[in-house]
Structures are given as C-alpha cells and as structure tokens.
C-alpha cells in the first residue's frame, strides 16, 4: 500500500489579485505570458513565443508540422480555464494553438435515444449543448463547466460529479483525431488498448486533440434540488448512499458554519414544466463590489472571512437559478428545466462573471477513494480545529464553499477515478474529489497551515500547483505511468507537446 503524504494548505484564503480579465484572441508575437481566463497576474504559461488562432483542423496540422520541423514546442489551449502556470513547459519558444475558432459541430446520429456527434477541438460545452438542443439531442452527465472546450476537458481528465453515471468527459468519447508530434492526423477509436487508456487522460502530451466523436442522448429534462445538512450528518453518514442514487450530486462544505449543502439532480419527464437556468459565476455589480471589499478586508483578519462565509452560505441556500424565459430568480427548490440549462447554464443576461470584479481564487483538488471519504473529511475537520486552536481559524471564502465532487470508476492511465492501481486502496466505489479554493497568505514567509496526512490521493491536472504534483507523484501507479510514457513516445518522439505536469510526473523520458 503506497500511502502519500500531501501537505494540504488549509490556511485557506481566496487570492485576490487586481487585474483585468482579458482573453487573447489574435496572434501574439514575442515572449509573452499566456494568461488563464483570470487574466493578468494569472499565467497559464510563463512565456510563449506566439499564440496562433487557426480556424480549421488543416491549419492546426500545418502549424504543428512547421513547429515540429523546427523543434518548437507546442501546446493547444481551449479557453485557458486553468488555475496555475502548468499548461506549457517552461521553454519560451513554445507556441500556443488556441483552438476556439476551430469549433465545427457535425454528423449528429441519434437512434432510439442514443447516438453521437462530431465536434472540433474548440467547441465548448455551451456551443455543443445549444446545437444539440436545437436538434432534439443532449450531452449526457459529463457536463463539467461553462465555457470550456470538450477537447480540453478530455485532455485533462475533467469530470462532473456522479457515482451513478459516467461523468469523466472522456468516458463519452468514442473516437478522436489527434495531431501527433510529426504533424500527422492520427485517428483512434475507443477500445481496450493502451493507446485509448492514454488518450482518455492525455494531458495534451500525445498531441492536439483535433476532433472528437462524442456520445449523445435524446434531449431530456432534469430537476435540481438542494438541502442543508449538519456537518455530523455528512462526516458520520453514508456518503456513498447520499450521492449514488442521483445522476449527479455533490456537496458544498461550509466549515466555519459546520454545515453542508447537498445538491442533487435527477431526470424528469421531458414534458415537465420549467425552464430553470443555472448560473454559478454571475454576479451583479453590487454583489461583486461588496464581496471584494469584504474579502479584501479579511486578508489578515479572520472575522471578515467568517462574515463572508455566512453571507455566501445564505445566498447559496437559495436556488442559483433564474427562469430562462423571463430571467426572474427562482426562489424555491426543486427547480426543473432542460438538461444543459439546469446542469450547467451560464451567465444571466446583463451580469458579469465574478472574475470580472477581481474576485479570483486559487484551489487545490485531490481525489481519494470514496471508501476513505469520511476519513478524509474528518481529517480535514481536525486540521481546521487545530488551526483554530492556534489562533488562526480557517473558513471557506469561496462563494460556493468547498466543493466536494464524486466520480464513478472510469479507467485511464492518468485519470482520477481509475481502478488500474497497485496502491492497495479500494477505488471500486469511485473517488471523492476535495476541491478547496484556498487563501494564499500574503504575510510573513507565506507559509500555509500545512499538515501532513496519509491518503492515497490523486491530483486534478489543472487545479494544483507544481509542488502538489511533485508530492502526489509517489502515489501514482508506476505501471500506468510507464505505459502512458510508451504511448506518448509513439505519438510524440521528440516531446514537442511537453508540459510542466508531464515533466514532473516523469512521462517525458
Ligand atoms: C472556474 C473553474 C471551474 C472548473 N470546474 C471543474 C469541474 O467541476 N470539474 C473538472 O474536472 N474540472 C473543472 N475545471 C477544470 C477544467 O475542466 C479544465 O481545466 C479544462 O481542461 C479546461 O478546458 P479549457 O478548454 O479551458 O482548456 P485549457 O485550460 O485551455 O487547457 C487545459 C489543458 O489541456 C490542454 N489542451 C487544451 N485543449 C487541448 C486539445 N485540443 N488537445 C490537447 N490538449 C489540449 C492544454 O494544453 C492544457 O494543458 C474548472 C476550471 C475552472 C477555471
Ligand atoms: C509553415 O511554414 C511555411 C514555410 O516556412 C510557411 O510558408 C507557412 O506559412 C507556415 N504555415 C503556418 C501555418 O505557419
Ligand atoms: C467564452 O469563451 C469565448 C471563447 O470561446 C470567449 O470569446 C468569451 O468571451 C467567453 N465568454 C465569457 C462570458 O467570458
Ligand atoms: C428535495 O429535497 C427535499 C429535502 O431533502 C425533499 O423533501 C424533496 O423530496 C426533494 N425533492 C425532489 C424532487 O427530490
Ligand atoms: C496584510 O498584511 C500584508 C503584509 O503585512 C500587507 O501587505 C497587506 O496590505 C495587509 N492587508 C490588509 C488588508 O491590511
């Protein structure tokens, strides 16, 4: 049994850095920072030489061919929904292929309620969902987040939250066209080969995912419901039993208040009334500016953070849904609407996302076996209590608390829910993902309230710092890493698609 000690930063805080949110949409030349969606001050790559924005798969092929012939490193990027500077390698010659304009959707096949669609690299969840809805189809339970690309989500092993349904995005991929390190378009299909096990969480290291054939369902409606639980009801409860009955369900933890929200979703008849539309990130100017002032004042003081948590908890107890047709807020649970609108939604009309008010976060996400979920949460509670006893009480200052998600087992070499492991842990019930947006202390030596603990944790590939990847390396399955590296070498012998993550986990050799 390989047990991993990961120092979890529990000193938690929401990092608040000023800076405009801008998106690079045209060609940038020269050594440039490539920022995340959070904008200036939030690099995804510390230095790149060019950002290209092609509009066809053929152009992407040509870009990779050219780069390959000159030994220039390449990274694809969708909408840069990254949290840290781990997208590229640290080579300033790196070019970015921004995929968002390569976004065609075609070939919908739907028979007896199931089928497939062909999507290009830059197509986002909302684009694909809307296109499908207009044609009586829908994505399944792999809807992760608003305005990110499906290919980017497949690359990083991103997932929704479900113990009942497959919810890792790559579980719905049926075939992929990948531009390899020589600039060749390689077609692969779902099977039980090492190639597919590598491609379903590739970290972009096999090449640019140019097209994906993706599974779809007939359009459907869902309800969303929410209830508040005490901390004891969850920590001492049957977590698997609370989550697994639903097509998707998750917890939000409010540690300062010792409460949890349990959010659940289920399918209802397509004729059910309701046009609920969810928004996780929409903020009015008043809300945005108030939150910023309050959280900023809590940079070195605990009280404002506890006040913020109380306010956020109150807001989050009501549905974060409007009626899509009237834009009126929905005031009571449950709410009902079309699948995409309820499972993800987007922005309310005339509102901006929170990061446009300089509300930024840093997070840490680790997966443990569901069988050890209660133990993990209890350990976190101990650490929080220890911090309080030290006179440095911890709370959550994110507007939706600490996000606790779940994943049914799905095998890929580098996925968070794979059962391909020799760590001796029981991953058969799936994984619990602990996603804690945490404070970055600005005082003293920037030391966080770290505590060592032992759990077989697996990192989310876009939600952790370099240090967390280094520490979690001990816990990744060696056979999977070796076999992943072999497939990687076949696709990209010269390692032009290298990234910081790939280097840290040792699959570039
Ligand atoms: C606010 C927020 C909430 C999130 N919520 C969740 C969540 O609930 N669950 C979850 O699992 N994740 C979540 N994520 C993480 C997100 O799903 C992943 O970071 C996803 O990869 C982002 O997609 P993107 O299109 O923005 O890709 P980018 O951020 O642009 O790229 C991500 C990585 O994938 C590579 N890549 C992108 N496109 C391609 C391609 N076509 N071919 C090969 N490699 C490619 C990039 O080089 C990079 O390494 C969240 C992120 C944010 C910022
Ligand atoms: C690839 O290189 C050729 C020759 O240098 C050049 O003409 C072409 O414009 C390049 N293509 C791209 C997409 O950069
Ligand atoms: C969503 O992503 C697109 C790029 O695909 C970008 O142009 C747009 O500004 C984003 N939307 C918002 C509201 O940030
Ligand atoms: C919603 O949750 C409440 C409280 O747990 C419960 O009583 C109700 O039956 C749920 N409704 C649905 C549709 O699940
Ligand atoms: C918190 O302390 C740091 C370091 O002393 C200081 O730079 C910062 O301005 C302080 N923040 C507030 C809101 O007082």
**Residue 304 scores a pLDDT above 90:** no
Task: Give yes or no for residue 354 CB within 6 A of ligand 3.
Answer: no
Atom of ligand 1 nearest to the CA of 150: 25
> Which burial class, exposed, middle or buried, applies to 290 when counting CB atoms under 10 A from its CB (0-12, 13-18, 19+)?
middle
In this prediction, residue 117 carries a pLDDT of: 98
- Check whether residue 139 and residue 170 sit in a common domain: yes
The overall average pLDDT reported for the chain is: 88
Which listed ligand is nearest to 53 at the C-alpha?
Answer: 2
In this prediction, residue 64 carries a pLDDT of: 98
- Check whether residue 208 and residue 228 sit in a common domain: no
- Check whether residue 329 and residue 353 sit in a common domain: yes
In a domain, 394, yes or no: yes
- Check whether residue 171 and residue 305 sit in a common domain: no
**Residue 120 scores a pLDDT above 50:** yes
Cα–Cα distance, 502 to 509 (Å, whole number): 10
In a domain, 311, yes or no: yes
Cα–Cα distance, 392 to 419 (Å, whole number): 38
Q: Which residues of 352-387 are buried (b: 16+ CB within 10 A; e: fewer)?
A: bbbbebbbbbbbbbbbbbbbbbbebbebbeebbeeb
If you search the block for the tokens 């540690």, which residue do you land on?
A: 255
In a domain, 6, yes or no: no
In this prediction, residue 359 carries a pLDDT of: 81
pLDDT tens-digit map of 226-260: 999 999 999 999 999 999 999 999 999 999 999 99
- Check whether residue 274 and residue 330 sit in a common domain: yes
**Residue 441 scores a pLDDT above 80:** no
Across 104-108, 267-271, 349-353, 439-443, least confident range: 439-443
**Residue 19 scores a pLDDT above 90:** no
Residues 6+ apart with CB under 8 A from 134: none
How much distance in Å is there from the Cα of 224 to the middle of ligand 4? Answer: 9
In this structure, what DSSP letter does residue 335 have? E
- Check whether residue 165 and residue 229 sit in a common domain: no
Could you give the angle at the alpha carbon of 431 between the alpha carbons of 430 and 432, nearest 5°?
A: 135
Across the range 145-166, mean pLDDT stands at 96
In this prediction, residue 351 carries a pLDDT of: 93
In this prediction, residue 15 carries a pLDDT of: 23
- Check whether residue 298 and residue 395 sit in a common domain: yes
Ligand 5, residues 302, 392, 443, 445: which to mutate, most atoms within 8 A of Cβ? 443
Q: What is the CATH number for 316?
A: 3.40.462.10
- Spatial contact of 360 and 252, defined as CB atoms under 8 Å apart: no
pLDDT tens-digit map of 195-229: 999 999 999 999 999 999 999 999 999 999 999 99
Residue that is last in its domain, among 63, 98, 133: 98
- Spatial contact of 350 and 140, defined as CB atoms under 8 Å apart: no
**Highest mean pLDDT of the ranges 30-39, 142-151, 318-327:** 318-327
Across the range 488-495, mean pLDDT stands at 98
In this prediction, residue 29 carries a pLDDT of: 57
Give me the domain span that covers residue 304. Answer: 221-472
**Residue 278 scores a pLDDT above 80:** yes
Residue that is last in its domain, among 98, 113, 140: 98
How much distance in Å is there from the Cα of 334 to the middle of ligand 4? Answer: 7
Closest listed residue to residue 340, CA positions, set 137, 193, 153: 137
Across 36-45, 164-173, 456-465, least confident range: 456-465
Cα–Cα distance, 277 to 321 (Å, whole number): 5
Across 64-73, 108-117, 296-305, least confident range: 296-305
**Residue 274 scores a pLDDT above 70:** yes
In a domain, 17, yes or no: no
The phi, psi pair for 170, rounded to 5°, reads -70, -15
Number of domain units in the chain:
3
- Spatial contact of 12 and 438, defined as CB atoms under 8 Å apart: yes
- Check whether residue 442 and residue 377 sit in a common domain: yes
State percent of the chain over pLDDT 90: 71
Ligand 5 binding pocket (C-beta < 6 A) is: 296-297, 299-300, 442-443
Closest listed residue to residue 278, CA positions, set 244, 318, 234, 237: 318
In this prediction, residue 455 carries a pLDDT of: 60
- Spatial contact of 76 and 121, defined as CB atoms under 8 Å apart: yes
- Check whether residue 215 and residue 236 sit in a common domain: no
Q: pLDDT band at residue 448, thresholds of 50, 70 and 90?
A: very low
How much distance in Å is there from the Cα of 45 to the middle of ligand 1? Answer: 14
What's CA 214's distance to the chain center, in Å? 19
Cα–Cα distance, 166 to 141 (Å, whole number): 7
The protein residue whose alpha carbon is closest to atom 10 in ligand 4 is 225
- Check whether residue 153 and residue 260 sit in a common domain: no
- Check whether residue 192 and residue 238 sit in a common domain: no
In a domain, 9, yes or no: no
Q: What is the CATH number for 63?
A: 3.30.43.10
Token pair listed for 301: 């003081």
Which listed ligand is nearest to 267 at the C-alpha?
Answer: 4
Cα–Cα distance, 161 to 252 (Å, whole number): 12
In a domain, 490, yes or no: no
Q: What is the CATH number for 201?
A: 3.30.465.10
How many of the other CB atoms lie within 10 Å of CB of 481?
16
Token pair listed for 197: 């096990």
What's CA 492's distance to the chain center, in Å? 26
Cα–Cα distance, 140 to 148 (Å, whole number): 16
**Residue 401 scores a pLDDT above 80:** yes
Task: Give yes or no for residue 147 CB within 6 A of ligand 3.
Answer: yes
**Residue 265 scores a pLDDT above 50:** yes
In a domain, 192, yes or no: yes
In a domain, 481, yes or no: no
**Residue 2 scores a pLDDT above 70:** no
Which listed ligand is nearest to 443 at the C-alpha?
Answer: 5
If you search the block for the tokens 């939600």, which residue do you land on?
A: 463
- Check whether residue 301 and residue 412 sit in a common domain: yes
In this prediction, residue 93 carries a pLDDT of: 96
Q: pLDDT band at residue 289, thresholds of 50, 70 and 90?
A: confident
Residue that is last in its domain, among 36, 69, 98: 98
């Amino acid at each position: 049994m390989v047990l991993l000690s990961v120092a979890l930063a529990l000193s938690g805080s929401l990092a608040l850095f000023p800076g405009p949110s801008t998106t690079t949409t045209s060609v940038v030349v020269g050594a440039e920072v490539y920022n995340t969606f959070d904008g200036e001050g939030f690099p995804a790559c510390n230095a790149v030489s060019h950002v290209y924005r092609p509009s066809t798969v053929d152009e992407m092929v040509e870009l990779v061919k050219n780069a390959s012939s000159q030994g220039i490193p390449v990274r694809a990027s969708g909408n840069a929904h990254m949290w840290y500077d781990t997208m590229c390698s640290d080579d300033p010659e790196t070019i970015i292929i921004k995929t968002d304009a390569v976004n065609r959707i075609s070939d919908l096949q739907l028979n007896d309620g199931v089928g497939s669609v062909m999507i290009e690299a830059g197509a986002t969840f909302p684009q694909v969902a809307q296109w499908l809805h207009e044609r009586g189809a829908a994505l399944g339970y792999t809807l992760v987040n608003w305005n990110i690309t499906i290919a980017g989500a497949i690359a990083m092993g991103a997932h929704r939250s479900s113990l009942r349904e497959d919810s890792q995005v790559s579980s719905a991929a049926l075939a992929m066209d990948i531009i390899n390190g020589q600039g060749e378009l390689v077609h692969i299909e779902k099977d039980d080969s090492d190639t597919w096990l590598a491609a379903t969480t590739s970290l972009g290291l096999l090449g640019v995912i140019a097209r994906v054939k993706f599974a779809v369902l007939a359009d459907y409606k869902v309800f969303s419901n929410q209830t508040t639980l005490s901390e004891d009801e969850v920590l001492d409860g049957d977590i698997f039993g609370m989550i697994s009955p639903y097509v998707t369900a998750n917890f939000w933890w409010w540690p300062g208040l010792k409460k949890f929200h349990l959010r659940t979703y289920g399918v209802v008849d397509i004729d059910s009334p309701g046009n609920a539309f969810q928004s996780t990130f929409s903020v009015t100017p008043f809300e945005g500016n108030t939150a910023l002032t309050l959280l900023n004042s809590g940079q070195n003081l605990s009280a404002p953070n506890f006040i913020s948590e109380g306010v956020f908890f109150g807001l989050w107890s009501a549905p974060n849904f409007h009626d899509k047709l009237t834009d009126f807020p929905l005031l009571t649970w449950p709410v009902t609407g079309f699948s995409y609108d309820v499972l993800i939604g987007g922005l309310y009309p005339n509102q901006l996302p929170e990061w446009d008010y300089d509300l930024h976060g840093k997070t840490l996400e680790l997966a443990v076996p569901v069988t050890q979920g209660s133990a993990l949460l209890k350990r976190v509670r101990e650490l929080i209590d220890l911090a309080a006893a030290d006179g440095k009480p911890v709370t959550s200052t994110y507007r939706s608390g600490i996000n606790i998600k779940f994943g049914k087992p799905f095998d890929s070499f580098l996925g968070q829910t794979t059962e391909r492991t020799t760590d001796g842990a029981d991953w058969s019930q799936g994984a619990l993902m602990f996603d804690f947006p945490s404070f970055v202390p600005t005082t003293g030596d920037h030391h966080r309230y770290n505590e060592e603990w032992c759990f077989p944790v697996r990192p989310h590939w876009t939600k952790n710092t370099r240090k967390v990847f280094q520490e979690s390396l001990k816990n990744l399955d060696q056979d999977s890493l070796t076999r992943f590296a072999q497939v990687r070498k076949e696709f990209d012998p010269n390692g032009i698609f290298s990234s910081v993550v790939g280097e840290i986990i040792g699959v570039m050799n």
